[in-house]
Amino acid sequence: MPKRPEPITVALLATPEVSAATLFGFYDVLAGTRRDWEVLHGREPVASPFRPLVVSRDGQPFAAGNGVRIAPDAALRDCPAPDIAIVTDLMIAPGAAVGDRYDDEVRWLRAAWEAGATLCSACSGALLLARTGLLEGYDATSHWAYCDALAREHPRTRWQAERGLVAAGPGQRLLMAGSGAAWHLLALAVIARFASPQEAMQVARVNLLGGADANATAYASLTHGQRPDDPVVARCQVWAASGYAAENPVRRMVELSGLPERTFKRRFTLATGMSPMEYLHTVRLEEAKQLLESTDLPVEAIAVEVGYQDASFFGRLFRRKVALTPAQYRRRFGALSQQLRRVAEPA
């Protein structure tokens, strides 16, 4: 799928039954894409590739289903043509009669689809997406408590409550997340497809998404922190970003600095809080994380790729710094990364 020009407009549909937590959760995650990763690494903030907008039928402030006051950015008629439209959720009992109260929203969704937008729903938001008729003949998902009722009302759709994420339709332009917190997975899928899988994984790691039982250390970027004010040290860090696997990398940085070795090591530690070798370990391990997420290379090959000839030493160091073994890290984050890569390149 060709990448769309930035910013990518994401219309978050707000109804009186919406859950503010999910609505603004989407908003925050999309608004923080790219920006938060850069900030956490001491770089200048950059704009998110996404422009999230909360839209409602009339654009007037209202109290959401859980009582939170919401002030939409635009009415449906005034919303810029969205690249993506998301129905986050609806606080409506399973099987409750919906009638015609969402006809305006359904027509707006259909118009967005016909203009080329990707349509998404999270959890019970499938109630509205199904009413567009666009799901007929395709797989779909929703919260497990809603799928039976949805199947009765929309029997030509294959409802699969067990699936956390479904991509369907022409160009897989229909994206749906299942129960509860599966909205996180939908948000990551949107980022993977419209920005990049790498940026989706960065968002997952910044916000600890993708699993509730992992030590937060496993998500952390080992190279986060403020950039040093010392220009000599900063120049060596730039070199280390690509030269980390070189033979004798500390000596190479000393040569690049033009300083006596002891002076360089003292200035580097003062500027970064780490010795040059400790810093190189963090760069190497961060690259190893990327390879574990995105490739099937054996752990031993990854160790060599990032500069360690001794795979056992690499494994011990990785576990000490990341709180998981390389194999455990791959099992936890590799599956998520592969899923995001698949959804980023629809068939």
245 and 106 in a single domain? The answer is: no
Residue where a domain stops, chosen among 145, 174, 207: 207
186 and 332 in a single domain? The answer is: no
197 and 241 in a single domain? The answer is: no
Mean pLDDT of the region 272-281: 92
pLDDT classification of 101: cutoffs 50, 70, 90: confident
Residue where a domain stops, chosen among 207, 222, 240: 207
Max Cα–Cα distance, the chain, nearest Å: 78
pLDDT at 213: 46
Mean pLDDT of the region 238-259: 93
pLDDT classification of 221: cutoffs 50, 70, 90: low
The DSSP symbol for 196 reads -
The more confident residue out of 333 and 23 is 23
Q: How many domains does the chain have?
A: 2
pLDDT at 218: 57
Any idea which of 248-252, 271-275, 303-307 has the lowest mean pLDDT?
271-275
Q: In terms of pTM, does the model score above 0.85?
A: no
Domain that holds residue 262: 231-337
331 and 188 in a single domain? The answer is: no
Residue where a domain stops, chosen among 207, 242, 269: 207
pLDDT at 340: 85
> Which residues touch 121 (CB under 8 Å, ≥6 apart)?
86, 87, 88, 128, 129, 142, 175, 176, 177
40 and 164 in a single domain? The answer is: yes
Asked whether residue 3 is domain-assigned, the answer is no
Domain containing residue 32: CATH number: 3.40.50.880
Mean pLDDT of the region 21-43: 91
Task: Copy the structure tokens of residue 294.
Answer: 């995105």
187 and 259 in a single domain? The answer is: no
194 and 235 in a single domain? The answer is: no
258 and 201 in a single domain? The answer is: no
Flag whether pLDDT at 206 surpasses 50.
yes
Asked whether residue 212 is domain-assigned, the answer is no
Flag whether pLDDT at 38 surpasses 50.
yes
Asked whether residue 216 is domain-assigned, the answer is no
Inter-helix orientation angle 183-194/197-206, to 10°: 140
pLDDT at 43: 82
pLDDT classification of 319: cutoffs 50, 70, 90: very high
> Which residues touch 179 (CB under 8 Å, ≥6 apart)?
123, 142, 143, 144, 145, 161, 164
